[in-house]
Amino acid sequence: MRVRKPDSGVAINPAAGVNLNDLVGLDRGVDVVRAEPGDLNSLLPALKRRHARRITGELLIPARAASYAAFPAGLDARIADGLMQRGITQLYSHQREAWDRITRSEHVVIVTPTASGKTLCYNLPVIQAAIQERSKALYLFPTKALAQDQVTELLELNQAGNLGVRAYTFDGDTPGDARKAVRTHGDIVISNPDMLHQGILPHHTKWAQFFENLKFVVIDEMHTYRGVFGSHVANVIRRLDRICRFYGVKPVYIFCSATIANPGQLAGGLLGAPVAVIDQSGAPAGEKHLLFWNPPMINPDLGLRASARSQTTRIARSAIKAGLKTIVFANTRLMVEVLTKYLKDVFDNDPRQAPRIAAYRGGYLPTERRGTATRLRGGQLDCVVATNALELGVDIGGLDVCLLNGFPGTIAGTWQRLGRAGRRNRPALGVLIATSDPLDQYIVRNPEFFTSASPEHGCIDPEQLLILMDHIRCAAFELPFQDNERFGKEPLAEMLSYLEAQGVLHHEGQRWHWMADSYPANSVSLRSVADGNFVVVDVTDGKQDVIAEADYSTAALTLYEGAIYLIQASPWQVEKLDWEGRKAFVTKTRADYYTDAIDFTRLKILDCFEEDRQSNGLCGRGEVHLVRRVAGYKKIRYYSHENVGYGKVNLPDHEMHTTAVWWQVSPDALEAAFPARWQALDGFLGAAYALHHVAALLTLSERHDLGRAVGDGEGIWFASVGQNGRGNPQTISGETVEIDDQQFTPTVFLYDNFAGGIGLSAPLFDLRHEIVARTIALIRDCGCQSGCPSCVGPILASDESRGHAPKQAALTVLGLLSPNGQARTLDMEAS
C-alpha cells in the first residue's frame, strides 16, 4: 500500500478551480473530464491533471496475486465435479484453511475482502455434510436480498454437480403452504435473525426434525451485528443454543465479515465461545486507486465550499461517459434520489432508450431492488446510486469506479463501500468526496489519518438490561428455565423472580414455566424499531397500487402530508398519511422541488448516575427523557437548492428514555463571558455540533448512534438556529421562550440514540476531557474566520463589530467546559 499526498494538495488555494456552476450552487454543469471509452487508465490521469488542487491525497494498493491450495482429499467427487463445471479447479488458501478448521468442528470467522470467495468457505463443508450425512444447516443473513443471492449461488453449484441438496429461504415472504415443506425437507434453510427470533425459535417443536440434524449455523455479514442489533442477535443465538441443547446437538458456527478491528472478539461475543479467525486472503485482487477529493472553496471568509453533490455528479458523468461501470454511495435516502435525478437528467432523457441509471435503497419493493441488482450484474446499467444497502455482499458484477458522496462515518464502512468496485480481479478507482462535515474535512485534509487508522471495533452489550429481559421472556416461552441455569453472564434467579412477580412465570419444583397468554417474541424488535412498516400507496387516477414501504423510524421524516416522496428520482406527493393504519397515499406529480423535514429534540434529565463538577460547570451522565417532533418541512428547488417554501407537519411526538452525557456552565461564568445570552446560545450550538462529531470518532461509533441537543436540562426549552441566524430558545411546540428573567443554564447533550441506550454514555463520560480538548483543536485549527460548516455547523449570525463570531463563541463555551476553565488542546491525529 502506498500513500501519496500531492504537492498541490498540501496547501489548497481556497479559490482554485472554481467555475460558475460551483459559485451559484448548480449541479447541472457539463464540465466533465474526457477519457478514452472504458479506460480507467485514461480517466485517472485526466482527473488528476484537471483537478489537481481538489485532490488532497492519493492511495495506491497494488494488485495481489492469488495463493492457491488443492481440493481437500476428503472432498466428495460430486462436489469437485460441480466446481470444475463452473471453472473452479483449485481453492484459494483461505478457503482451504476454512475447510480444514470447520471439518475439525472449530467455530471460525472469515474476514477477507469483498469478492474473495467467502461463500465457498462455508458452502463446501455444509454441502459435503448434507449429501454424505443428511445433516442440516441454517444460514442467517441480515437482509432478504442477501438471502436470495445465496439461494442463486447454491442452486448453480447444486445443478452443476447434480448434488440433490435442497436449499430454501424461510422469511416473511415464504407462503404459508410452503413453510411445512421448508421445515421437513430443507437441507439448508436460509433466513434472517428476525425470522429466527419470531418465526422459528418460538415454534421449535414444528422444527424438531430440522434441529435434531442441525450441524452448521452460518452467520454472514457479521460486522452488521453491532450496537443494538448485535446485542439482540447475541441473545437470539443464546436462545438458539438452548434449543439445540434440548435436541441434543452442538452445531459449528461459521461467521463471515467485512474488515473490522476485532472480528474474533465480536464473533466470540455473539456466540459466547472462542472463535478462530481466518483473515489472510488467498484471492487475487486488481490494482486499486483511491483519491481524496475536497470541493473547491467558493467563499474563503465564510469557509463555504462547493457541494459534494456537485462534485460527485461531475465525476460520475466523466466515468459514465468514459464507459466505466460506476457505483455512487450516498449517506441518506434523500441524497440518493437527488443524485439519481441529476444523472438521469443527463443520461436517461430519451424515453425510448432503456434506463442507464438506477437508484438502490431501503424502502423500495423487493422486486424493484432485485431487478436493479440483476440489471447491474448483467451489465445493463452504467451507474447505480445507493445507500449502504449495497455495502453488503450482494453480487453486482464487475464495477470500475466507486464514488463516496461523503465519509460514511466509519473507516470499516468506507473500505466496505470501496470494495464494491474492482471485483473479479479488475483495476478500480475509488473517490472519497468530502462534504462540509467536520469529520469529512478532517479526513481529506489529513488523508494519512485514514490510511493509517485501524477499522473500528464492533461493539455489543448483550447484558444491557432491557434487551436481556426481553430475550429471557422469549426463552422462557420456548423452554422452561431450570434452577441455576445461566443465560449469558448474569445469574437468572433475581430476573426470573421479577417475571414471576409480573405474573408471566410460575416456579414449580426446579423449573420456571411460562404461564402468560402473550407471545413475547412478537413484541420484541431486534432493530429497536416500533411495530409496523408503512406502505406507500399510489392513488393517482383512482389507482390503489403499493409502490414502496418505509420503516417506522423514517416515516415521520419522509411521509408527512405535503412531502415529495421520490422513487427512482420520480416524484410523488403525499396527499394523506394514515398514521394508525400505517399507510401513506400519494399521487404522481411533476414538482421541480424536493422536501426536507425539520425536526426538534428536547431532553429532560431524570437521573444522574455520575457527575464531575468543575470550576465553571459540570459534566454528568445519567438517564434522560427525550421528545422528538417533526414540526415542518422545507421545499428545496433542484439544482439551485434554494428554499422555495415551508409547510407544517402535525404528527405524534416520538418519546423515549435513554442515557446521555451532558455539559453545563454556571450562570455566573456565562454572564461574565458573554454580553448577551443569544451569543452564549450561538456558542453552545456551535460547540454541540463539533462535540457530536468528535465524540463519534473517539467512541468508534456511527454518528446516527449518537444524538445531540442543546436545552435547559429541565425539558422546558431547547435551542435551535432561528430565522435571524441566532440561537433561539423555544418550546417543543415552536413558541419562543423569553429567558432573560429565568435561571439561564444551557446544556449540551450527547445522547444514546436508542431506547434504553446501548452503552455509549459510559465511554463518553470517561472520555469527557479528551472530547472537549479535541473539539477545541478541531475548531481552532479550522481555516475559516468566523465559523463554517466544517467546524461549528451552519453559520450563525456574527457581529464582528461587537466582537462576536460563532467560532469564537464556541471556543469560549468549550474553554469554560474544560477542567479548571482552561482550554486544553490535543493533536487530533493522536488517536
Q: What does pTM read for this prediction? A: 0.80
Q: Residue holding cell 449541479?
A: 27
Both 623 and 759 in one domain: the answer is yes
Answer whether residue 523 is part of any domain: no
Average pLDDT in the chain: 85
The share of the chain scoring above pLDDT 90, in percent, equals: 52
Does residue 388 carry a pLDDT above 60?
A: yes
Answer whether residue 461 is part of any domain: no
Query: Which of 571, 591, 611 is where one domain is finished?
Result: 591
Both 213 and 289 in one domain: the answer is no
Both 199 and 297 in one domain: the answer is no
Domain that holds residue 103: 68-278
The amino acid that residue 687 corresponds to is A
235-271 confidence digits (pLDDT tens): 999 999 999 999 999 999 999 987 788 899 999 999 9
Secondary structure E strands in 395-540: 401-405, 428-433, 481-482, 505-508, 511-514, 534-538
C-alpha cell at 222: 457479521
C-alpha cell at 351: 424515453
The pLDDT assigned to 745 comes to: 85
Both 781 and 745 in one domain: the answer is yes
Answer whether residue 459 is part of any domain: no
C-alpha cell at 284: 487475487
At residue 604, φ and ψ (nearest 5 deg) are -130, 130
471-484 confidence digits (pLDDT tens): 999 999 999 999 98
Question: Which range among 124-138, 556-570, 801-815 shows the weakest confidence by mean pLDDT?
Answer: 801-815
Q: What is the mean pLDDT of residues 313-336?
A: 95
Neighbouring residues of 222: CB distance < 8 A, sequence distance ≥ 6: 109, 255, 256, 257, 263, 266, 267, 270, 458
Can you give the C-alpha Rg of the chain in angstroms? Answer: 28
Confidence of residue 127 (pLDDT cuts 50, 70, 90): very high
Both 170 and 268 in one domain: the answer is yes
Neighbouring residues of 449: CB distance < 8 A, sequence distance ≥ 6: 442, 443, 828, 829
The pLDDT assigned to 395 comes to: 65
Query: Which of 278, 296, 320 is where one domain is finished?
Result: 278
Does residue 718 carry a pLDDT above 50?
A: yes
Structural domains in the chain (count): 5
Does residue 741 carry a pLDDT above 80?
A: no
The pLDDT assigned to 424 comes to: 62
514-545 confidence digits (pLDDT tens): 999 888 998 888 875 445 689 999 999 999 99
Answer whether residue 457 is part of any domain: no
Neighbouring residues of 770: CB distance < 8 A, sequence distance ≥ 6: 698, 826
Answer whether residue 74 is part of any domain: yes
427-441 confidence digits (pLDDT tens): 899 999 999 888 888
Question: Which range among 312-321, 348-357, 559-568, 790-799 shows the weakest confidence by mean pLDDT?
Answer: 790-799
Query: Which of 428, 452, 476 is where one domain is finished?
Result: 452
* Contact of 707 with 761, CB cutoff 8 Å: no
Confidence of residue 291 (pLDDT cuts 50, 70, 90): very high
CATH of the domain at 408: 3.40.50.300
Both 222 and 339 in one domain: the answer is no
Does residue 139 carry a pLDDT above 90?
A: yes
Both 489 and 623 in one domain: the answer is no
Answer whether residue 458 is part of any domain: no
Which comes out higher in pLDDT, residue 689 or 410?
A: 689
Both 230 and 146 in one domain: the answer is yes
Both 540 and 640 in one domain: the answer is no
Secondary structure E strands in 614-715: 617-637, 643-648, 654-665, 706-711
Answer whether residue 182 is part of any domain: yes
The pLDDT assigned to 802 comes to: 47
The pLDDT assigned to 153 comes to: 80
Both 473 and 324 in one domain: the answer is no
Answer whether residue 544 is part of any domain: yes
Query: CA–CA distance from 279 to each of 25, 110, 118, 410 (Å)?
Result: 45, 6, 11, 20
780-806 confidence digits (pLDDT tens): 888 788 888 888 887 665 555 445 688
Both 707 and 767 in one domain: the answer is yes
Both 106 and 225 in one domain: the answer is yes
